Structures are given as C-alpha cells and as structure tokens.
Amino acid sequence: MNYIFEGVIGAFYLLLAKDPETYSAIWTTLRLSTLSITCTLIVGIPLGFLLGHYNFPGKRAVRTLVDTLLALPTVVIGLLVYAFISRRGPLGDLGLLFTIPGVAIGQFILALPIVVSLTASAIEGIDPKIYLTLRTLGASDMQAALSSMWEGRYAVTAAAVTAYSRVISEVGVSMMIGGNIKWHTRTITTAIALETGKGEFSMGIALGIVLLAFALTANTLVSSLRRRA
C-alpha cells in the first residue's frame, strides 16, 4: 500500500511544481477538446434543431441511426479515421495522422451524435404552442425557430457539456490517431495509460486528479442546467 500513498504525494508534488510533462498533457487535452467540441457544436446544434423541429420522410430512421451512433466504440471510430487518413488512405496526402487536427476529426465523429440527439430531444420538449404563437404574431420562420431554440437553451447547453465531457475523457481515438507522442499529441488519458504501464503512478494519479476535476465540473454544470431546463 505504500506505493499508493507515495504515488498520491508525488502526484500533488507534480501538480504544485508545475511539472512540464504533466502540464503538457493537460494543455494538449484542453486544446484538442476545445477544437473538436467547437466544430461539433457548429455542425451538431443546427442538425439537432432540424431533426427535432421539422417532420420529414425518414425522420424516425434518421433518429434511430443517430441514437445508435451514441454507443459507437471509440476504438471503432479510431480504426475508421485511421484508415482514411493514413498514408495508404484516401486522405493520406493531408498529413493528418499523429496530429491534433487528425485526433479532432475522430473526436468530432464521437461527439456529433451526442449533440444532435440531445439537441433534438431538447427541441422536441419545447411546447409547440410557442412556435405557433410566434408565427401568429407575425414572426418569420427563422425568428420563430431562433426563439424556440432560445427556450431550450439550457437543455442545448447541457448537451454541449455532455459531449465535451465525453470527448475530454476518451482514450481510443487519441491513442490510435494521435499516437501518444510526447509534447505533441499526448493527452491526459493516453498519458495515464502509458505512465501506469511504466509503473509511474505519481504522474498517472496527478493526471487522474485533473481529469476527475474536469468531469466533476462538467457534471455539476449539466445538473445545474437540467434543473433550469
């Protein structure tokens, strides 16, 4: 049990001393997750609104597909993205393998169904009388749609936070596409896996503490937003 106690003491020392290798993984994770979630929200929120607000042929099939993709394993996403951006893949000339943008593509695919599905559910939960009342009062279709989105803003924000917490804690995509390159693509999760395998429990525990802090913050925010919604 001594090595666990020593690992915890060492973890706090690394964090307080601002160990460069430890903080490199933290900043890489923040850069990567911010890039991927920004792209996801730009695409996912409008798609989720369309899916939740409008009726069209095949809507139920699309919704079933989106909900199914929520359970897509990260290693499968990593495998598919790797096949496309590797040197032998159709996008190999772009040089995305073992880069932050390459990992962001995988995380984008991982988070997109979450944002689309939860945004659609949020829009579907809005009283339809609001939209009809706005249209009756002379609002354009776009104005009424934006007002409906505003009514569901807390639920939509909760969807964004949920997707972010999923992205920041994933390991499969980051490991397969990023390659866990020190000072470059090594994230919190991949660093924990590597350092634990090497027996370096101090850094693993330090990064685990940071990851738990991120998760706690995200879950607290989601709970607050859901209560408001």
Amino acid at 39: C
pLDDT tens, residue by residue, 204-218: 888 988 988 888 888
Q: Which two tokens stand for residue 132?
A: 């009809």
Query: How confident is the model at residue 16, as a pLDDT?
Result: 85
Query: How confident is the model at residue 125, as a pLDDT?
Result: 80
Query: How confident is the model at residue 157, as a pLDDT?
Result: 86
Q: What is the residue-averaged pLDDT of the chain?
A: 86
Query: How confident is the model at residue 3, as a pLDDT?
Result: 63
**Torsion of Cα atoms, 58 then 73 then 187 then 221, to 10°:** 60
Q: Which two tokens stand for residue 14?
A: 């690394």
| 3-class SS string, 171-190 | CHHHHHHHCCCCCCCCCHHH
The radius of gyration of the chain from alpha carbons, rounded to an integer in Å, stands at: 21
Q: Is the pLDDT of residue 229 over 70?
A: no
Residue whose C-alpha is closest to residue 173's, from 101, 92, 94, 65: 101
Query: How confident is the model at residue 82, as a pLDDT?
Result: 93
Q: Which two tokens stand for residue 218?
A: 């995200």
pLDDT tens, residue by residue, 3-38: 677 777 887 778 888 889 889 999 999 999 999 999
Query: How confident is the model at residue 133, as a pLDDT?
Result: 74
Residue found under tokens 């919704």: 63
User: Which helix (DSSP H) or strand (DSSP E) does residue 209 occupy?
Assistant: helix 201-228
Instruction: Give mean pLDDT, residues 147-151.
Output: 76
User: Which helix (DSSP H) or strand (DSSP E) does residue 110 occupy?
Assistant: helix 100-124
Angle at 221 between CA 164 and CA 166, to 5 degrees: 20
Whether 61 contacts 141, CB under 8 Å: no
Residue whose C-alpha is closest to residue 166's, from 229, 73, 79: 73
pLDDT tens, residue by residue, 154-175: 888 888 888 998 999 898 899 9
Q: Which two tokens stand for residue 82?
A: 């790797």
Q: Is the pLDDT of residue 44 over 90?
A: yes
Q: How many Cα atoms are found within 13 Å in the side-chain-facing hemisphere of 122?
A: 29
- DSSP class of residue 148 equals H
Q: Which domains does the chain have, with CATH numbers?
A: 20-228 (1.10.3720.10)
Q: How far apart, in whole angstroms, are the C-alpha atoms of residue 179 and residue 176? A: 6
Q: Is the pLDDT of residue 143 over 80?
A: no
pLDDT tens, residue by residue, 69-120: 988 889 999 999 999 998 888 888 888 999 999 999 999 999 999 999 999 9
Direct distance between the N- and C-terminal alpha carbons of the chain, in angstroms, rounded to an integer:
45
